[in-house]
């Protein structure tokens, strides 16, 4: 595995704590602002950019690392009517503890955001997905950037570098581009106490500056995966009651969710990996939880999409030797695409997403499984309901293997028993997708792609 700044062991322990254990247990009464108290306003930061740069790998550049954003997408955004731009944000941020205590005010900071957005306002659907970049691997990761789903729907996406680990790696990767960044107040706050206000100020920049060019956002959602969802849980439970509300809704993806009942809707979407106990919070008028059978915390789609980018920007991608063949192929991102649409409607019109059945547990406390080894219950995509492989959320081994799930293709004999003809298989896919479309767990475009995949030789 390519070495990264910091310790993978520490990062993994932090990630598991933030995502696989129950959500933060701060008491709501301790975090709510006193009755009648004013919530602190969120400042509008200074915006510099878009930063100049050449395309990644431009042979005319003597130092490609100084010419383009870290992990710049390799998608042909121009063909999709999109553009990628990077900006520096700076200003003064307040520092908060994990229990919402104000530790310091007006601490100078400087960070960056990456914007991927429609060029034309006519293509923009009005919603901005504001992602708290994940730093569990030691660098900023846009875990929730899914090119096809985001661009076909017309979302704008903004990735925010809020945490010390990610910003420090940027500084090392390209001192010329990122050397001036700092989210520690010059070393005063080394455990991301500024991150909450930095994230809030990014939302203010989306609403109050030209960060999105000619686009005018109607709805600004906060989204975060894994450890980032854990940071957003602290933000919602402990910090948000004391500050101006700048996000219209929260997407807590493969990680913890707030325990406080707030005004802003919270949508938690978990892979099979992340569901560790049959004890769950109930759905409410402001909270939804979906659990997706067969999917992994970090599955094949994300790994495959990032592989060329990590090869380009790190020199070589990380490699893993897991105890089982890694990376579930169940497309969790299909469910996320539907969830973003639901969360937008929820925030804008108060229309709550549909409920979903939970994953089932056996009497011994383990996940219940069918005769093929597939998890029972939960949202069941056609890759689980019409399986050609065992996909699950379990794995073990060094580094991040525990998060990858497994993918074990069925042999031809087993496939012949399940599907005597190809038409039997295609019919099973169509039936499963029809059920998920009707339930609201899947979008038509993804069902169409599943059909194309099913009919291929």
Q: Give the rounded distance of the alpha carbon of 283 from its chain centre.
A: 21
Confidence (pLDDT) at 190: 98
Mean pLDDT of the chain: 92
User: Under a CB-based contact definition with an 8 Å cutoff, are residues 226 and 136 in contact?
Assistant: yes
Quote the radius of gyration of the chain (alpha carbons, Å): 22
pLDDT-derived band at 31, boundaries 50, 70, 90: very low
Each residue's pLDDT tens digit, 124-157 = 999 999 999 999 999 999 999 999 999 999 999 9
Our CA angle for 160, 165, 170, nearest 5°, is 70
- 90 C-beta neighbours (distance < 10 Å), count: 18
Percent of the chain with pLDDT over 70: 89
User: Under a CB-based contact definition with an 8 Å cutoff, are residues 339 and 23 in contact?
Assistant: no
Burial 18-42 (b: 16+ CB within 10 A, else e): bbbeebbebeeeebbeeeeeeebeb
pTM: 0.92
User: Under a CB-based contact definition with an 8 Å cutoff, are residues 298 and 322 in contact?
Assistant: no
377 sits in the region (left: phi over 0; alpha: psi -120 to 50; else beta) called: left
User: Under a CB-based contact definition with an 8 Å cutoff, are residues 73 and 84 in contact?
Assistant: yes
Q: Say whether pLDDT at 7 is over 70.
A: no
User: Under a CB-based contact definition with an 8 Å cutoff, are residues 195 and 234 in contact?
Assistant: no
CA-wise closest residue to 118 among 130, 126, 109, 110: 126
CA-wise closest residue to 203 among 113, 310, 73, 321: 113
**Lowest-confidence range among 16-25, 84-93, 323-332, 351-360?**
16-25
Secondary structure class of 265 (helix, strand, coil): coil
- Phi/psi of residue 125, each to 5°? -85, 0
pLDDT-derived band at 28, boundaries 50, 70, 90: very low
pLDDT-derived band at 66, boundaries 50, 70, 90: low
Query: What mean pLDDT is predicted for residues 247-258?
Result: 98
Residue-by-residue DSSP string for 315-335: SS------SS-B---S-HHHH
Query: What mean pLDDT is predicted for residues 343-353?
Result: 98
User: Under a CB-based contact definition with an 8 Å cutoff, are residues 178 and 69 in contact?
Assistant: no
Secondary structure class of 75 (helix, strand, coil): coil
Confidence (pLDDT) at 26: 36
Q: Which residues pair with 271 in a beta bridge?
A: 292
Secondary structure class of 451 (helix, strand, coil): helix
pLDDT-derived band at 64, boundaries 50, 70, 90: low
Find all residues with CB under 8 Å of 3, minimum gap 6, and list them. Answer: none
Confidence (pLDDT) at 67: 81
Query: What mean pLDDT is predicted for residues 68-97?
Result: 97
Element (H, E) at 118: strand 102-118
Element (H, E) at 164: helix 164-173
**Whole-angstrom distance between the N-terminal and C-terminal Cα of the chain?**
35
- 363 C-beta neighbours (distance < 10 Å), count: 6
Each residue's pLDDT tens digit, 215-242 = 999 999 999 999 999 999 999 999 999 9
Our CA angle for 422, 436, 352, nearest 5°, is 170
Confidence (pLDDT) at 318: 84
Q: Say whether pLDDT at 16 is over 60.
A: no
Polymer length of the chain: 457
List, edge to edge, every strand of the sheet that includes 102-118: 46-48, 82-96, 102-118, 156-160, 127-132, 219-225, 249-253, 266-271, 287-292
Supply 394's token pair: 């379990």
User: Under a CB-based contact definition with an 8 Å cutoff, are residues 138 and 169 in contact?
Assistant: yes
Confidence (pLDDT) at 37: 64
Confidence (pLDDT) at 56: 74
Each residue's pLDDT tens digit, 270-326 = 999 999 999 999 999 999 999 999 999 999 999 999 999 999 999 988 889 999 999
Strands 406-409 and 266-271: unpaired
């Amino acid at each position: 595995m390519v070495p990264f700044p910091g310790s993978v062991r520490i990062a993994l322990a932090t990630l598991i704590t933030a995502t696989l254990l129950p959500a933060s247990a701060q008491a709501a009464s301790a975090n709510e602002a006193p009755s009648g108290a004013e919530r602190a306003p969120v400042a509008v930061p200074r915006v510099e950019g878009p930063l100049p740069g050449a395309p990644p790998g431009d042979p005319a550049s003597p130092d490609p690392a100084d010419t383009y954003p870290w992990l710049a997408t390799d998608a042909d955004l121009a063909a999709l009517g999109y553009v990628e731009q990077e900006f520096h944000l700076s200003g003064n941020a307040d520092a908060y503890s994990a229990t919402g205590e104000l530790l310091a005010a007006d601490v100078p900071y400087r960070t960056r955001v990456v914007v991927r957005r429609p060029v034309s306002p006519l293509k923009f659907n009005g919603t901005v997905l504001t992602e708290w970049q994940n730093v569990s691997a030691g660098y900023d990761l846009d875990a929730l950037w899914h090119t096809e789903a985001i661009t076909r729907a017309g979302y704008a996406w903004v990735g925010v570098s809020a945490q010390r680990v990610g910003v420090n790696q940027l500084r090392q990767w390209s001192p010329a581009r990122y050397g001036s960044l700092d989210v520690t107040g010059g070393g005063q706050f080394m455990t991301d106490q500024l991150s909450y206000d930095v994230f809030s100020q990014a939302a203010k920049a989306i609403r109050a500056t030209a960060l999105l060019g000619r686009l005018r956002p109607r709805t600004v959602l906060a989204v975060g995966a894994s450890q980032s969802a854990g940071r957003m849980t602290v933000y919602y439970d402990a910090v948000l009651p004391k500050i101006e509300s700048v996000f219209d809704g929260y997407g807590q993806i493969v990680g913890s969710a707030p325990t406080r009942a707030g005004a802003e809707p919270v949508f938690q979407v978990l892979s099979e990996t992340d569901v560790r106990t049959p004890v769950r919070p109930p759905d409410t008028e402001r909270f939804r939880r979906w659990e997706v059978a067969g999917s992994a915390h970090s599955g094949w789609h994300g790994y495959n999409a990032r592989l060329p980018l990590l090869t380009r920007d790190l020199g070589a991608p990380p490699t893993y030797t897991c105890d089982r063949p890694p990376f579930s192929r169940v497309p969790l991102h299909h469910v996320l695409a539907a969830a973003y649409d639901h969360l937008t409607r929820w925030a804008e019109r108060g229309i709550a997403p549909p409920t979903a059945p939970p994953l089932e547990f056996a009497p011994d406390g383990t996940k219940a499984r069918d005769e093929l080894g597939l998890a029972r219950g939960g949202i069941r995509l056609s890759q689980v309901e019409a399986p050609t492989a065992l996909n699950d959320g379990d794995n073990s081994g060094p580094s991040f293997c525990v998060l990858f799930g497994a993918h074990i293709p069925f042999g031809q004999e087993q496939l012949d028993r399940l599907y005597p003809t190809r038409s039997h298989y295609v019919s099973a896919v169509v039936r499963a997708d029809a059920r998920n479309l009707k339930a609201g767990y899947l979008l038509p475009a993804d069902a169409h792609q599943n059909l194309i995949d099913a009919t291929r030789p």
